[in-house]
Amino acid sequence: MIIIMLGAQGTGKGTVAGLISEQMGWPQISTGDIFRKNISEKTALGIEASKYTEKGELVPDEITVPMVEDRLNWEDAQEGAILDGFPRTIEQAEKLDEMLKRNNKKVDLVINLVTPKEEIIDRMLTRRVCSNQECKATYNIKLHPPVKEGICDKCGAPLKQRADDSDPEAIKKRLEIYEEKTCPLVEYYKNKGVIRTEEVSVAVNRMGKDVAEDIVKEIKNK
Ligand code: AMP
């Protein structure tokens, strides 16, 4: 089963994807995480990608698309995978459809998370991530703080703020790109009949973990 997480930055895509991944045993494939790992390891891909990620711009498809195709071919992704951060444009969605078709697969479910904009910006500024690249757990100092301040509950490594989360200009740029390039994907997947929109917000008292719980229950009941 191929699941795609859709939604602006800070809506909790990573949280929902991580919980479904844990419960179903399918990998969470986050293009942002793959880029960040390569950047910290200073690989050729990472050095090239950082030119774009630092400014909040999209990394070109020539780099991103083959990277995703390669990851989807790993053994652990054959039963299912949760794509988090890809596709981000109509072109990427079309390329994904083509690569899945070559393997007799298709996009089965698109989870579209919607959160009010003011809440999103606040969540990005208060998001903290585990500095251990193998762990990558995500926290929020207001909504979901670690037990011990600044320390990851799961692995004990220090927490840090993502470089692009601390720069208000980069946050603004990412949200603009989301509106312009990624929002049209909602229509694209609506037309395919695979989208499920979920409001995730303090205002409606529904958070990522509630969405993940419902979806896992439904998948297991099928
Ligand atoms: P994220 O962790 O999903 O917010 O991604 C962090 C950064 O990685 C983005 O701001 C982009 O620069 C880059 N990135 C992640 N996914 C993609 C993608 N599908 N296409 C192009 N660039 C991406």
Kindly give the distance from the C-alpha atom of residue 79 to the centroid of ligand 1, in angstroms, as a whole number: 25
- Which residues are catalytic, by number? 13, 88, 127, 162, 174
Closest CA relative to residue 178, chosen from 57, 13, 49 = 57
Q: Give the pLDDT of residue 129.
A: 93
Q: Give the pLDDT of residue 167.
A: 84
The model's pLDDT over 138-172, given as tens digits with 9 standing for 90+, comes to: 899 998 899 999 999 999 999 999 888 888 888 88
Angular region, 138: left φ>0, alpha ψ -120 to 50, beta rest: beta
Q: Give the pLDDT of residue 194.
A: 97
Question: Who lines ligand 1 at CB under 6 A?
Answer: 9, 31-32, 35, 52-53, 56-59, 64, 85-86, 88, 92, 164, 174
Question: Cβ–Cβ contacts within 10 Å for residue 66, how many?
Answer: 13
Kindly give the distance from the C-alpha atom of residue 143 to the centroid of ligand 1, in angstroms, as a whole number: 24
Kindly give the distance from the C-alpha atom of residue 56 to the centroid of ligand 1, in angstroms, as a whole number: 8
Closest CA relative to residue 85, chosen from 170, 171, 160, 17 = 17
Kindly list the strands in the beta sheet with 81-84, ordered across the sheet, starting from the edge strand earlier in the chain: 28-30, 81-84, 2-7, 107-114, 195-199
Q: Give the pLDDT of residue 77.
A: 97
Q: For 214, what's the count of Cα atoms within 13 Å in the CB-facing half-sphere?
A: 10
What are the backbone angles phi and psi of residue 115, rounded to the nearest 5°? -140, 140
Q: How far apart are CA 89 and CA 146, in angstroms?
A: 34
Give the residue, out of 28, 53, 166, with the most ligand 1 atoms within 8 A of its beta carbon, to mutate for a pocket test. Answer: 53
| Strand extents, DSSP E, the chain | 2-7, 28-30, 81-84, 107-114, 127-130, 138-140, 159-160, 195-199
Closest CA relative to residue 85, chosen from 105, 108, 100, 65 = 65
Q: Give the pLDDT of residue 65.
A: 97
Give the residue, out of 45, 54, 58, 138, with the most ligand 1 atoms within 8 A of its beta carbon, to mutate for a pocket test. Answer: 58
Give the residue, out of 5, 31, 68, with the most ligand 1 atoms within 8 A of its beta carbon, to mutate for a pocket test. Answer: 31
Cα angle: 119, vertex 3, 76; to 5 degrees: 120
Task: Please say if the pLDDT value at position 131 is more than 90.
Answer: yes
Protein residue whose Cα sits closest to atom 8 of ligand 1: 32
Kindly give the distance from the C-alpha atom of residue 128 to the centroid of ligand 1, in angstroms, as a whole number: 17
How far does CA 69 lie from the centroid of its chain? 16
The model's pLDDT over 23-77, given as tens digits with 9 standing for 90+, comes to: 999 999 999 999 999 999 999 999 999 999 988 899 999 999 999 999 999 999 9
Range in 51-65, 122-136, 149-163, 181-195 the model is least confident about = 122-136
Q: How far apart are CA 29 and CA 68, in angstroms?
A: 8
Protein residue whose Cα sits closest to atom 19 of ligand 1: 86
pTM as predicted: 0.89
- List, in sequence order, every residue forming a beta bridge with 3; answer none if it has no partner: 82, 109
